[in-house]
C-alpha cells in the first residue's frame, strides 16, 4: 500500500544552505497493516507522513501510495470550531456528495462507535481534549480511507484518556473485516514505545535527523489487545527494552 525507495527530503537553510530532514529512507507497508513509527524529536517522522499525504514533495527517491488520498490525523485539535460534533463528522461525506440519508446513517453509526452520540449537537469548545480526538477519529473513519496517517494523535492527552482512545482505535481497526481489502492501512507516529507495542503489527525505529529506518520489530501479541494485559507479559518488557536500546 505504501512503498518508498531512497526517499529524501531537503529544506532550505540559512544563507543558501540545505538541511536534510529525511532519508534516504526505504519503507514498505502492506495493505491492512498497522505500522507504528518511533524516533527522537526532529528525526523527520512528521515529514514522512506529510510526504505520504501529498502535503510535501520529496527531494529525491520514489514514493507509491495506494489509489486514494490518505487521511492525516494530527496531534492537536483539528475540529472545525464553527461546526457541531455531528457537522464535523459529516463534513467529508458532504465533500463526497452523499445524500442526506446516507450521511445521517454513517455519522450516527460512527458517533455511536466512539461514544459521542449524546454530544452530536455540541460544539468543540464544549468538549474535553479526549472527546475532540474522538471526533477526529470518527471523522477520519467515516471518510473510509485506504490509508490512515496518524501523527501522535494522543500525545497531548493524560494517560487514562490516552489508553481509552487506544482501545477505541483498536476496536475500530480490529472490528473491520479481516480481508486486507477492507481493513484500513494505518501508519501511526508516536513517542511512546508502550503505545507502539500496544497498537502495531510492526514497530519501526527512526534515527536522528536525517531520519532513516534503523530497526524493525514485529509485534508478536495476538489480537484483540488490551494495554493493561499486555504489560503483564514478560515479552512486552523485553521488546520495550530492545526498542529503547535502538533509540539510544
pLDDT tens track, the chain, 248 positions: 999 999 999 999 888 899 999 989 999 999 999 999 999 988 999 999 999 999 999 999 999 998 788 999 887 788 999 999 999 999 999 998 999 999 999 999 989 888 899 999 999 999 988 889 889 888 988 888 889 999 988 887 788 888 888 888 888 888 765 544 568 899 999 999 999 999 999 999 999 989 999 999 999 999 888 888 888 899 999 999 999 999 88
pLDDT at 33: 95
pLDDT at 164: 82
Grid coordinates standing for 173?
A: 481497526
Residues of the chain with CATH 3.40.50.300: 2-70+145-247
CATH of domain 2-70+145-247: 3.40.50.300
pLDDT at 81: 94
Grid coordinates standing for 247?
A: 533509540
Whole-model pTM: value is 0.87
pLDDT at 120: 95
DSSP 151-203: ESTTTTS-HHHHHHHHHHHHHHHHTS-SSTTTSPEEEEE-S-HHHHHHH-SEE
How long a stretch of residues is the chain?
248
Residues 231 and 167 sit within 8 Å (Cβ to Cβ) = no
pLDDT at 107: 94
Amino acid at each position: 500500500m505504501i512503498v518508498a525507495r531512497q526517499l529524501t527530503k531537503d529544506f532550505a537553510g540559512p544563507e543558501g544552505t540545505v538541511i536534510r530532514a529525511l532519508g534516504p529512507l526505504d519503507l514498505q507497508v502492506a495493505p491492512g497493516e498497522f505500522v507504528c513509527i518511533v524516533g527522537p524529536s526532529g528525526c523527520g517522522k512528521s515529514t514522512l507522513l506529510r510526504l505520504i499525504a501529498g502535503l510535501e514533495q520529496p527531494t529525491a527517491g520514489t514514493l507509491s501510495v495506494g489509489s486514494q488520498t490518505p487521511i492525516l490525523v494530527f496531534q492537536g485539535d483539528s475540529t472545525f470550531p464553527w461546526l457541531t460534533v455531528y457537522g464535523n463528522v459529516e463534513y467529508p461525506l458532504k465533500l463526497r456528495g452523499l445524500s442526506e440519508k446516507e450521511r445521517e446513517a454513517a455519522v450516527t453509526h460512527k458517533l455511536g462507535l466512539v461514544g459521542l452520540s449524546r454530544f452530536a449537537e455540541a460544539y468543540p469548545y464544549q468538549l474535553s481534549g479526549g472527546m475532540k480526538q474522538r471526533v477526529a477519529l470518527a471523522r477520519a473513519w467515516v471518510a473510509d480511507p485506504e490509508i490512515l496517517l496518524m501523527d501522535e494523535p494522543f500525545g497531548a492527552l493524560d494517560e487514562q484518556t490516552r489508553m481509552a482512545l487506544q482501545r477505541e482505535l483498536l476496536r475500530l481497526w480490529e472490528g473491520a473485516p479481516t480481508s486486507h481489502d477492507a481493513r484500513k492501512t494505518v501508519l501511526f507516529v508516536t513517542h511512546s514505545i508502550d503505545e507502539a507495542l500496544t497498537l502495531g503489527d510492526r514497530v519501526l525505529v527512526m534515527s536522528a535527523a536525517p531520519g532513516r529506518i534503523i530497526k524493525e520489530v514485529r509485534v508478536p501479541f495476538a489480537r484483540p489487545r488490551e494495554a493493561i494485559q499486555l504489560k503483564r507479559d514478560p515479552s512486552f518488557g523485553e521488546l520495550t527494552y530492545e526498542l529503547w536500546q535502538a533509540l539510544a
